[in-house]
Structure 1
Amino acid sequence: MTRPSDQAARTAKRLAALGHRVVLAPALEIVPTGTAPPEGEFDLILATSAQAFAGGAPKPSLRALPVACVGERTARAAEASGFRVALVAPRAEALAERLVAEMKPASALYFAGRERKPVLEDRLRAAGWAVAVVEIYDARPVAGWPDEVLAALRDGRIDAVLHYSPRSAGAALSLIGGAASRLSHFCLSQDVADICARWAPTERIFTASQPDEEALLKLLCSVEPLRGD
Protein backbone atom coordinates (compact mmCIF):
# COMPACT_ATOMS: atom_id res chain seq x y z
CA MET A 1 0.00 0.00 0.00
CA THR A 2 1.84 3.07 -1.29
CA ARG A 3 -0.62 5.84 -0.33
CA PRO A 4 0.43 8.58 2.14
CA SER A 5 0.17 7.40 5.74
CA ASP A 6 -3.15 8.99 6.70
CA GLN A 7 -4.89 7.60 3.61
CA ALA A 8 -3.10 4.24 3.69
CA ALA A 9 -4.32 3.34 7.19
CA ARG A 10 -7.96 3.68 6.17
CA THR A 11 -7.49 1.58 3.02
CA ALA A 12 -5.41 -1.00 4.90
CA LYS A 13 -8.35 -1.72 7.21
CA ARG A 14 -10.56 -2.38 4.21
CA LEU A 15 -7.97 -4.67 2.64
CA ALA A 16 -7.52 -6.60 5.88
CA ALA A 17 -11.28 -7.08 6.09
CA LEU A 18 -11.14 -8.57 2.59
CA GLY A 19 -8.53 -11.09 3.70
CA HIS A 20 -5.37 -9.41 2.42
CA ARG A 21 -2.17 -8.93 4.40
CA VAL A 22 -1.05 -5.33 4.03
CA VAL A 23 2.41 -3.79 4.13
CA LEU A 24 2.28 0.00 4.51
CA ALA A 25 4.91 1.65 2.30
CA PRO A 26 3.95 5.28 1.57
CA ALA A 27 5.75 6.57 -1.51
CA LEU A 28 4.84 10.21 -0.87
CA GLU A 29 4.49 12.34 2.23
CA ILE A 30 2.02 15.24 2.40
CA VAL A 31 3.45 18.46 3.78
CA PRO A 32 1.91 21.95 4.13
CA THR A 33 3.47 24.64 1.98
CA GLY A 34 2.64 27.54 4.29
CA THR A 35 1.45 29.56 1.29
CA ALA A 36 -1.08 32.27 2.18
CA PRO A 37 -4.15 32.78 -0.03
CA PRO A 38 -4.21 35.78 -2.34
CA GLU A 39 -6.13 38.89 -1.34
CA GLY A 40 -9.52 39.46 -2.89
CA GLU A 41 -13.22 38.73 -2.66
CA PHE A 42 -14.35 35.22 -3.52
CA ASP A 43 -17.71 33.54 -4.00
CA LEU A 44 -16.69 29.99 -3.12
CA ILE A 45 -13.84 27.62 -2.36
CA LEU A 46 -12.79 24.70 -4.55
CA ALA A 47 -11.02 21.58 -3.31
CA THR A 48 -10.17 18.23 -4.85
CA SER A 49 -8.54 16.52 -1.85
CA ALA A 50 -9.12 16.22 1.87
CA GLN A 51 -5.52 17.40 2.26
CA ALA A 52 -6.75 20.89 1.38
CA PHE A 53 -8.27 21.12 4.86
CA ALA A 54 -5.64 19.31 6.89
CA GLY A 55 -4.53 22.58 8.48
CA GLY A 56 -7.92 24.28 8.66
CA ALA A 57 -8.70 27.52 6.85
CA PRO A 58 -5.71 29.78 6.08
CA LYS A 59 -7.74 32.58 7.70
CA PRO A 60 -11.05 32.39 9.60
CA SER A 61 -12.96 34.69 7.25
CA LEU A 62 -12.76 32.06 4.51
CA ARG A 63 -14.97 29.68 6.52
CA ALA A 64 -17.96 31.81 5.56
CA LEU A 65 -17.56 30.74 1.93
CA PRO A 66 -19.36 27.66 0.54
CA VAL A 67 -17.19 24.79 -0.69
CA ALA A 68 -17.46 22.87 -3.97
CA CYS A 69 -15.32 19.76 -3.83
CA VAL A 70 -14.38 16.39 -5.29
CA GLY A 71 -15.29 13.31 -3.26
CA GLU A 72 -17.14 12.60 -0.04
CA ARG A 73 -13.91 12.34 1.92
CA THR A 74 -12.98 15.88 0.90
CA ALA A 75 -16.46 17.03 1.86
CA ARG A 76 -16.15 15.47 5.33
CA ALA A 77 -12.75 17.11 5.84
CA ALA A 78 -14.18 20.50 4.83
CA GLU A 79 -17.10 20.16 7.23
CA ALA A 80 -14.79 19.05 10.05
CA SER A 81 -12.83 22.27 9.49
CA GLY A 82 -15.96 24.38 9.85
CA PHE A 83 -16.90 24.89 6.21
CA ARG A 84 -20.30 24.49 4.60
CA VAL A 85 -20.19 22.13 1.63
CA ALA A 86 -22.50 23.23 -1.17
CA LEU A 87 -21.56 20.81 -3.94
CA VAL A 88 -19.80 17.44 -4.22
CA ALA A 89 -18.85 15.68 -7.45
CA PRO A 90 -16.97 12.41 -7.98
CA ARG A 91 -14.23 13.87 -10.19
CA ALA A 92 -12.74 17.25 -11.10
CA GLU A 93 -14.23 17.13 -14.59
CA ALA A 94 -17.69 16.48 -13.19
CA LEU A 95 -17.32 19.27 -10.64
CA ALA A 96 -16.38 21.76 -13.35
CA GLU A 97 -19.34 20.67 -15.50
CA ARG A 98 -21.81 21.10 -12.65
CA LEU A 99 -20.47 24.49 -11.63
CA VAL A 100 -20.65 25.79 -15.19
CA ALA A 101 -24.15 24.38 -15.66
CA GLU A 102 -25.60 25.48 -12.30
CA MET A 103 -23.91 28.82 -11.61
CA LYS A 104 -23.09 32.02 -13.40
CA PRO A 105 -19.34 32.68 -13.76
CA ALA A 106 -18.01 33.50 -10.32
CA SER A 107 -14.80 34.12 -8.42
CA ALA A 108 -13.36 30.99 -6.81
CA LEU A 109 -10.42 30.26 -4.52
CA TYR A 110 -8.95 26.83 -5.19
CA PHE A 111 -7.24 25.09 -2.24
CA ALA A 112 -4.89 22.96 -4.33
CA GLY A 113 -1.90 20.68 -4.17
CA ARG A 114 1.35 21.72 -5.80
CA GLU A 115 1.35 18.69 -8.10
CA ARG A 116 -1.99 18.37 -9.89
CA LYS A 117 -3.72 18.21 -13.24
CA PRO A 118 -5.09 21.70 -14.00
CA VAL A 119 -8.42 20.30 -15.21
CA LEU A 120 -10.63 22.17 -12.76
CA GLU A 121 -9.15 25.64 -13.09
CA ASP A 122 -8.76 25.34 -16.86
CA ARG A 123 -12.36 24.30 -17.44
CA LEU A 124 -13.75 27.03 -15.22
CA ARG A 125 -11.55 29.77 -16.65
CA ALA A 126 -12.57 28.75 -20.16
CA ALA A 127 -16.19 29.30 -19.05
CA GLY A 128 -15.47 32.81 -17.78
CA TRP A 129 -14.74 32.07 -14.14
CA ALA A 130 -12.02 33.83 -12.16
CA VAL A 131 -10.03 31.13 -10.34
CA ALA A 132 -7.27 31.99 -7.88
CA VAL A 133 -5.11 29.02 -6.91
CA VAL A 134 -3.40 28.71 -3.54
CA GLU A 135 -1.13 25.66 -3.28
CA ILE A 136 -1.76 24.62 0.31
CA TYR A 137 -0.02 21.25 0.36
CA ASP A 138 2.67 19.32 -1.46
CA ALA A 139 3.29 15.61 -1.94
CA ARG A 140 7.00 14.79 -1.77
CA PRO A 141 8.69 11.45 -2.45
CA VAL A 142 9.90 9.72 0.69
CA ALA A 143 13.65 9.27 1.04
CA GLY A 144 13.31 5.53 1.56
CA TRP A 145 11.29 2.73 3.14
CA PRO A 146 11.78 1.05 6.52
CA ASP A 147 13.92 -2.07 6.64
CA GLU A 148 10.89 -4.32 7.18
CA VAL A 149 9.35 -3.15 3.87
CA LEU A 150 12.59 -3.69 1.98
CA ALA A 151 12.98 -7.12 3.57
CA ALA A 152 9.44 -8.12 2.56
CA LEU A 153 10.23 -7.14 -1.03
CA ARG A 154 13.57 -8.91 -1.01
CA ASP A 155 12.13 -12.10 0.48
CA GLY A 156 9.22 -12.27 -1.96
CA ARG A 157 6.56 -11.75 0.71
CA ILE A 158 4.81 -9.05 -1.34
CA ASP A 159 2.74 -10.14 -4.34
CA ALA A 160 0.98 -6.95 -5.43
CA VAL A 161 1.16 -3.16 -5.22
CA LEU A 162 -1.72 -0.67 -5.33
CA HIS A 163 -0.91 2.53 -7.27
CA TYR A 164 -3.11 5.64 -7.00
CA SER A 165 -1.39 8.31 -9.08
CA PRO A 166 1.34 8.59 -11.72
CA ARG A 167 3.58 10.48 -9.34
CA SER A 168 3.24 8.07 -6.43
CA ALA A 169 3.64 5.12 -8.81
CA GLY A 170 6.88 6.56 -10.14
CA ALA A 171 8.19 7.18 -6.62
CA ALA A 172 7.20 3.69 -5.44
CA LEU A 173 8.66 1.93 -8.45
CA SER A 174 11.95 3.75 -8.01
CA LEU A 175 12.15 2.33 -4.49
CA ILE A 176 10.99 -1.14 -5.55
CA GLY A 177 13.59 -1.31 -8.32
CA GLY A 178 14.15 -4.62 -10.06
CA ALA A 179 11.54 -6.42 -7.96
CA ALA A 180 8.82 -4.51 -9.83
CA SER A 181 8.95 -6.96 -12.72
CA ARG A 182 7.76 -9.88 -10.56
CA LEU A 183 4.95 -8.01 -8.74
CA SER A 184 1.36 -7.47 -9.83
CA HIS A 185 0.48 -3.79 -10.17
CA PHE A 186 -3.10 -2.62 -9.61
CA CYS A 187 -3.59 0.87 -11.03
CA LEU A 188 -6.29 3.47 -10.41
CA SER A 189 -6.24 4.74 -14.01
CA GLN A 190 -4.59 4.30 -17.39
CA ASP A 191 -2.05 7.08 -16.84
CA VAL A 192 -0.93 5.24 -13.70
CA ALA A 193 -0.70 2.00 -15.67
CA ASP A 194 1.46 3.77 -18.26
CA ILE A 195 4.03 4.53 -15.56
CA CYS A 196 3.99 0.92 -14.38
CA ALA A 197 4.54 -0.27 -17.95
CA ARG A 198 8.04 1.22 -17.79
CA TRP A 199 8.92 -1.17 -14.98
CA ALA A 200 6.77 -4.30 -15.31
CA PRO A 201 5.46 -6.59 -18.09
CA THR A 202 1.95 -5.97 -19.40
CA GLU A 203 0.55 -9.19 -17.95
CA ARG A 204 1.36 -7.95 -14.45
CA ILE A 205 -0.46 -4.61 -14.81
CA PHE A 206 -4.19 -4.29 -14.06
CA THR A 207 -6.25 -1.10 -14.43
CA ALA A 208 -9.47 -0.22 -12.59
CA SER A 209 -12.61 0.27 -14.67
CA GLN A 210 -13.21 3.63 -12.96
CA PRO A 211 -10.66 5.97 -11.32
CA ASP A 212 -11.85 5.39 -7.76
CA GLU A 213 -10.88 3.15 -4.88
CA GLU A 214 -14.04 1.07 -5.00
CA ALA A 215 -13.22 -0.03 -8.54
CA LEU A 216 -9.58 -0.61 -7.63
CA LEU A 217 -10.39 -2.87 -4.69
CA LYS A 218 -12.99 -4.71 -6.73
CA LEU A 219 -10.31 -5.35 -9.35
CA LEU A 220 -7.88 -6.60 -6.71
CA CYS A 221 -10.46 -9.07 -5.44
CA SER A 222 -11.29 -10.31 -8.93
CA VAL A 223 -7.70 -10.99 -10.04
CA GLU A 224 -5.36 -13.35 -8.28
CA PRO A 225 -1.93 -11.65 -8.22
CA LEU A 226 0.73 -13.48 -10.17
CA ARG A 227 3.34 -14.96 -7.90
CA GLY A 228 6.89 -13.79 -8.39
CA ASP A 229 9.42 -16.14 -9.95
Structure 2
Amino acid sequence: MMNSQCKRCRRVGEKLFLKGEKCYTPKCSLIRHPLKSKKGSKLSVYGRQLQEKQKIKLFYNIREAQLKRYYNLALKGKTSTPLKLAQILESRFDTIIMRSGLSSSQSAARQLVTHGHFLLNGRPHNIPSTILKPQDVITLKTRSAKLKIFEDLDNRLKNYKIPSYIKLERGDNKDLTITLLDTPKLEELSLPFDFTAVVEFYSR
Protein backbone atom coordinates (compact mmCIF):
# COMPACT_ATOMS: atom_id res chain seq x y z
CA MET A 1 0.00 0.00 0.00
CA MET A 2 1.33 3.44 -0.91
CA ASN A 3 2.23 5.71 2.01
CA SER A 4 0.14 8.90 2.31
CA GLN A 5 3.28 11.02 1.96
CA CYS A 6 4.12 9.25 -1.32
CA LYS A 7 0.60 10.02 -2.53
CA ARG A 8 1.18 13.70 -1.77
CA CYS A 9 4.33 13.72 -3.89
CA ARG A 10 2.45 12.07 -6.76
CA ARG A 11 -0.32 14.63 -6.43
CA VAL A 12 2.07 17.54 -7.07
CA GLY A 13 4.11 15.56 -9.62
CA GLU A 14 7.43 15.88 -7.83
CA LYS A 15 9.49 14.05 -5.23
CA LEU A 16 9.63 16.23 -2.11
CA PHE A 17 11.51 13.83 0.21
CA LEU A 18 8.77 14.03 2.83
CA LYS A 19 10.03 10.84 4.52
CA GLY A 20 13.65 11.94 4.67
CA GLU A 21 16.26 9.22 4.23
CA LYS A 22 13.63 6.61 3.29
CA CYS A 23 13.03 8.52 0.07
CA TYR A 24 16.53 7.58 -1.13
CA THR A 25 16.01 3.83 -0.70
CA PRO A 26 14.60 1.33 -3.22
CA LYS A 27 11.56 1.01 -0.96
CA CYS A 28 10.42 4.48 -2.00
CA SER A 29 7.22 4.23 -4.04
CA LEU A 30 8.41 6.86 -6.50
CA ILE A 31 11.56 4.86 -7.21
CA ARG A 32 9.63 1.62 -7.75
CA HIS A 33 6.91 3.38 -9.74
CA PRO A 34 8.39 6.59 -11.22
CA LEU A 35 6.21 9.55 -12.04
CA LYS A 36 4.96 9.52 -15.63
CA SER A 37 5.63 12.58 -17.73
CA LYS A 38 2.42 14.20 -18.89
CA LYS A 39 3.16 14.96 -22.51
CA GLY A 40 1.17 17.74 -24.04
CA SER A 41 -0.24 18.93 -20.71
CA LYS A 42 0.77 22.38 -19.62
CA LEU A 43 -0.33 24.15 -16.48
CA SER A 44 -1.78 27.62 -16.66
CA VAL A 45 -0.01 30.39 -14.77
CA TYR A 46 -2.60 30.08 -12.01
CA GLY A 47 -2.22 26.29 -11.99
CA ARG A 48 1.56 26.55 -11.62
CA GLN A 49 1.22 29.07 -8.80
CA LEU A 50 -1.24 26.79 -7.04
CA GLN A 51 1.06 23.79 -7.47
CA GLU A 52 4.09 25.62 -6.05
CA LYS A 53 2.01 26.74 -3.08
CA GLN A 54 0.90 23.17 -2.46
CA LYS A 55 4.48 21.86 -2.67
CA ILE A 56 5.66 24.36 -0.06
CA LYS A 57 2.78 23.54 2.28
CA LEU A 58 3.53 19.81 2.00
CA PHE A 59 7.28 20.15 2.47
CA TYR A 60 7.12 22.47 5.48
CA ASN A 61 4.08 20.66 6.87
CA ILE A 62 2.05 23.85 7.29
CA ARG A 63 -1.55 24.91 6.73
CA GLU A 64 -2.88 27.50 4.29
CA ALA A 65 -3.46 30.06 7.06
CA GLN A 66 0.16 29.72 8.22
CA LEU A 67 1.58 30.20 4.74
CA LYS A 68 -0.61 33.27 4.19
CA ARG A 69 0.59 34.69 7.52
CA TYR A 70 4.23 34.14 6.49
CA TYR A 71 3.50 35.88 3.19
CA ASN A 72 2.13 38.91 5.04
CA LEU A 73 5.26 38.96 7.24
CA ALA A 74 7.44 38.76 4.13
CA LEU A 75 5.81 41.90 2.71
CA LYS A 76 7.45 43.92 5.48
CA GLY A 77 11.02 45.12 5.25
CA LYS A 78 13.42 45.83 2.38
CA THR A 79 14.21 42.22 1.41
CA SER A 80 12.45 40.95 -1.71
CA THR A 81 9.20 39.22 -0.75
CA PRO A 82 9.99 35.78 -2.30
CA LEU A 83 13.41 35.68 -0.59
CA LYS A 84 11.97 36.84 2.73
CA LEU A 85 9.21 34.21 2.55
CA ALA A 86 11.78 31.46 2.03
CA GLN A 87 13.95 32.77 4.88
CA ILE A 88 10.97 32.80 7.24
CA LEU A 89 10.11 29.19 6.44
CA GLU A 90 13.73 28.14 6.84
CA SER A 91 13.92 29.93 10.21
CA ARG A 92 11.14 27.89 11.77
CA PHE A 93 12.12 25.91 14.87
CA ASP A 94 11.36 22.55 13.24
CA THR A 95 13.16 23.49 10.01
CA ILE A 96 16.33 24.38 11.93
CA ILE A 97 16.16 21.02 13.73
CA MET A 98 15.95 19.29 10.34
CA ARG A 99 18.74 21.36 8.77
CA SER A 100 20.99 20.65 11.77
CA GLY A 101 20.80 16.94 10.99
CA LEU A 102 18.85 15.81 14.05
CA SER A 103 16.02 14.59 11.82
CA SER A 104 15.81 13.66 8.16
CA SER A 105 12.43 15.22 7.42
CA GLN A 106 10.27 18.16 8.41
CA SER A 107 7.53 15.97 9.86
CA ALA A 108 10.03 14.08 12.03
CA ALA A 109 11.52 17.36 13.25
CA ARG A 110 8.06 18.64 14.11
CA GLN A 111 7.44 15.56 16.27
CA LEU A 112 10.74 15.99 18.10
CA VAL A 113 9.83 19.58 18.95
CA THR A 114 6.22 18.92 20.01
CA HIS A 115 7.36 16.03 22.23
CA GLY A 116 9.38 18.52 24.26
CA HIS A 117 12.96 17.38 23.62
CA PHE A 118 14.46 20.88 23.36
CA LEU A 119 15.15 24.12 25.16
CA LEU A 120 15.11 27.45 23.35
CA ASN A 121 17.46 30.01 24.91
CA GLY A 122 17.47 27.96 28.11
CA ARG A 123 13.71 27.44 28.44
CA PRO A 124 11.52 24.46 27.46
CA HIS A 125 9.93 25.06 24.07
CA ASN A 126 7.64 22.80 22.04
CA ILE A 127 6.20 25.04 19.32
CA PRO A 128 7.50 24.00 15.87
CA SER A 129 6.30 27.15 14.11
CA THR A 130 8.38 29.57 16.21
CA ILE A 131 10.50 31.77 13.93
CA LEU A 132 14.04 31.86 15.25
CA LYS A 133 16.32 34.88 15.15
CA PRO A 134 20.09 34.95 14.68
CA GLN A 135 21.90 33.98 17.93
CA ASP A 136 18.95 31.95 19.22
CA VAL A 137 20.22 28.75 20.84
CA ILE A 138 18.47 25.37 20.88
CA THR A 139 19.63 22.76 23.41
CA LEU A 140 18.78 19.07 23.36
CA LYS A 141 17.57 18.16 26.84
CA THR A 142 19.98 15.90 28.74
CA ARG A 143 17.32 13.28 29.47
CA SER A 144 16.15 13.33 25.84
CA ALA A 145 19.70 12.73 24.58
CA LYS A 146 19.58 9.29 26.21
CA LEU A 147 16.55 8.18 24.18
CA LYS A 148 16.83 5.65 21.36
CA ILE A 149 15.93 8.21 18.69
CA PHE A 150 19.12 10.11 19.48
CA GLU A 151 21.47 7.18 19.94
CA ASP A 152 24.45 7.10 17.59
CA LEU A 153 23.69 10.75 16.76
CA ASP A 154 27.35 11.78 16.66
CA ASN A 155 28.15 9.09 14.08
CA ARG A 156 25.16 10.10 11.95
CA LEU A 157 26.24 13.72 11.97
CA LYS A 158 29.78 12.90 10.78
CA ASN A 159 28.57 12.49 7.22
CA TYR A 160 26.07 15.34 7.30
CA LYS A 161 26.92 18.78 5.95
CA ILE A 162 25.36 21.44 8.16
CA PRO A 163 24.60 24.83 6.53
CA SER A 164 27.11 27.55 7.43
CA TYR A 165 24.46 29.63 9.20
CA ILE A 166 23.91 26.87 11.79
CA LYS A 167 26.45 25.96 14.46
CA LEU A 168 26.10 22.58 16.15
CA GLU A 169 28.38 21.75 19.06
CA ARG A 170 28.69 20.04 22.42
CA GLY A 171 29.37 22.19 25.47
CA ASP A 172 31.63 21.39 28.40
CA ASN A 173 28.76 19.44 29.97
CA LYS A 174 28.35 17.44 26.71
CA ASP A 175 24.93 19.02 26.00
CA LEU A 176 24.23 19.36 22.29
CA THR A 177 23.45 22.92 21.21
CA ILE A 178 22.29 24.38 17.91
CA THR A 179 22.89 28.09 17.29
CA LEU A 180 21.32 30.03 14.43
CA LEU A 181 24.25 32.25 13.46
CA ASP A 182 22.65 34.18 10.64
CA THR A 183 19.64 34.42 8.34
CA PRO A 184 19.31 31.18 6.33
CA LYS A 185 21.33 31.25 3.11
CA LEU A 186 19.13 29.75 0.39
CA GLU A 187 22.02 29.18 -2.01
CA GLU A 188 23.21 26.42 0.32
CA LEU A 189 19.89 24.55 0.25
CA SER A 190 18.85 24.13 -3.41
CA LEU A 191 15.16 24.37 -2.58
CA PRO A 192 12.90 22.92 -5.32
CA PHE A 193 10.29 25.66 -5.00
CA ASP A 194 9.36 28.80 -6.91
CA PHE A 195 8.65 31.26 -4.12
CA THR A 196 8.00 34.01 -6.67
CA ALA A 197 5.03 32.03 -7.99
CA VAL A 198 3.59 31.81 -4.48
CA VAL A 199 3.99 35.54 -3.94
CA GLU A 200 2.28 36.18 -7.28
CA PHE A 201 -0.60 33.92 -6.21
CA TYR A 202 -1.23 35.86 -2.99
CA SER A 203 -0.74 39.27 -4.61
CA ARG A 204 -3.41 38.73 -7.27
> What interval of TM-score do these two structures reach, taking the shorter chain for normalisation?
under 0.3
Which structure's residues are more often strand, by fraction? Answer: 1
Which structure's residues are more often helix, by fraction? Answer: 2
Highest Rg: 1 or 2? 1
TM-score normalised to structure 1 length: 0.23
